[in-house]
């Protein structure tokens, strides 16, 4: 009997208990794998331009708040999810995992700000520190 790919992905969810409440979660790599089910062929250009577009939608939601509209948390969460999807596509196009990118970013921040963020270190950062 062959398994449905969607069932396999659902089995990767983790369950944890915190203060009597159960939460399900997935790793970054599990998210990437699940998200890429809906991607025909990962394309870096599509991912980068798509990320800009989705980030613009997040920005648009916040612009509405400045114009007096009510903050719509559910809408912004959905758009942030679209941003994540585009990042997952970019990672896949580059043949790196979501978690590799996450780990490299944290390592960079630990080097740059070993004791936490400091404005002084930000202002006078080495020009080669990308």
> What would the pLDDT profile of 75-111 be if each residue is shown by its tens digit?
999 999 999 999 999 999 999 999 999 999 999 999 9
- Phi, psi at 15, each rounded to 5°: -120, 130
Is residue 7, in this structure, part of any structural domain at all?
yes
Is residue 123, in this structure, part of any structural domain at all?
no
Is residue 70, in this structure, part of any structural domain at all?
no
- Euclidean distance between CA atoms 34 and 87, whole angstroms: 13
Mean pLDDT over each residue of the chain, to the nearest integer: 88
Is residue 1, in this structure, part of any structural domain at all?
yes
Domain span at 17:
1-38
Give the H/E segment covering residue 30. Answer: helix 28-35
Count CB neighbours of 118 within 10 A. 12
The total number of structural domains that make up the chain? 1
Three-state secondary structure call for residue 125:
coil
pTM, full prediction = 0.78
Is residue 112, in this structure, part of any structural domain at all?
no
pLDDT digits (tens, 9 = 90+) for 8-52: 444 445 666 666 766 668 899 999 999 999 999 999 999 999 999
Is residue 69, in this structure, part of any structural domain at all?
no
């Amino acid at each position: 009997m062959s398994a449905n790919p969607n069932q396999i992905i659902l089995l990767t969810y983790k369950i944890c208990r915190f203060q009597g409440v159960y939460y399900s979660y997935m790793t970054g790599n599990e998210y990437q794998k699940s998200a890429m089910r809906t991607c025909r062929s990962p394309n870096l250009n599509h991912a980068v331009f798509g990320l800009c577009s989705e980030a613009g939608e997040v920005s648009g939601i916040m612009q509405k708040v400045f114009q007096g509209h009510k903050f719509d948390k559910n809408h912004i969460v959905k758009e942030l999810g679209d941003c994540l999807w585009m990042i997952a596509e970019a990672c896949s196009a580059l043949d790196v995992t979501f978690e590799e990118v996450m780990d490299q970013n944290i390592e960079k921040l630990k080097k740059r700000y070993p004791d936490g963020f400091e404005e002084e270190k930000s202002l006078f950062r080495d020009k080669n520190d990308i």
